[in-house]
Structure 1
Amino acid sequence: MQAFYTLLIVLQVVSAIAIIGLVLLQHGKGADMGASFGSGASGSLFGASGSASFFSRATAVCAVVFFVATLGLSIVASGKKASGGTVLDSLPAATQPAKQAAPASAPAESQGTQIPK
């Protein structure tokens, strides 16, 4: 079960990084991918509308993988037994503080003489 949990975490992180990269690579409306490579034609690299569909499809696939991994992580986490109490209840029991020794009597009192007040 731990290996499946680790696999889901890795899958989620990789898909999140891929989504970030793909969103940053996408260009806004009206910007041409071909213009960034020096030519004025928008069809120079991916075709007339190829760049928009390629990046949007790749982003959609990564988003689906991210959401499936998130759903899987929530299912795995809900399967773990909850403690049923507070966080403080799960702490180990504190040791009892040591009893304080009775204060040592003054040497004058032990001899039977009283100290004037």
Structure 2
Amino acid sequence: MIVLLVIIHVVVCLFLTGVVLLQQGKSADMAAAFGGQGSQTAFGPRGAANLLTRLTTWSAVVFMITSISLTVLMSRSANHRSVLSDLQTQSSPAKK
């Protein structure tokens, strides 16, 4: 179960990164107002923004759900150990 969630989490991370990088900045609308690349988009001037916004939202939701699920599953796992569990504390007497 954990391996499947890790695989889904990594795929969603890569997809989310790609979708965010594909989005145009808010200043691109100003360039389109003066005739710069506004009519040559594949989805139309507003269609791509809506599609990319929805893809970003849903991938962010899946990312958060997988993150929380992995945290809960790893905390309940029997073989989960702390980094400091092997550290042995040695107390020495106080020096006078």
Letter in 1 for 2:70: L
1:74 partnered with 2:64: no
Moved over 3 A (4+): 81-85
Gaps of 5+ in 1: 90-117
- Aligned ranges 1:5-16 → 2 under 5 Å: 5-16=2-13
| Cα root mean square deviation, aligned | 2.4
Paired with 2:43 and 2:5, the residues of 1 have a C-alpha distance of 33
| Aligned-pair CA distance for 1:80 | 1.7
Matched residue, 1:88: 87
Matched residue, 1:27: 24
Paired with 2:85 and 2:12, the residues of 1 have a C-alpha distance of 34
The structure with more helix, counted as a fraction of residues = 2
**1:83 to 1:20, Cα distance in 2 relative to 1, 3 A:** closer
Matched-pair identity in % = 34
Gaps of 5+ in 2: 89-96
Matched residue, 1:41: 39
Question: TM-score normalised to the size of structure 1?
Answer: 0.58
Alignment length (residue pairs): 80
Q: Deviations over 1:41-83 (max 9, x none)?
A: 26x5213311111101001111111111111101111112365
Matched residue, 2:14: 17
Question: TM-score normalised to the size of structure 2?
Answer: 0.69
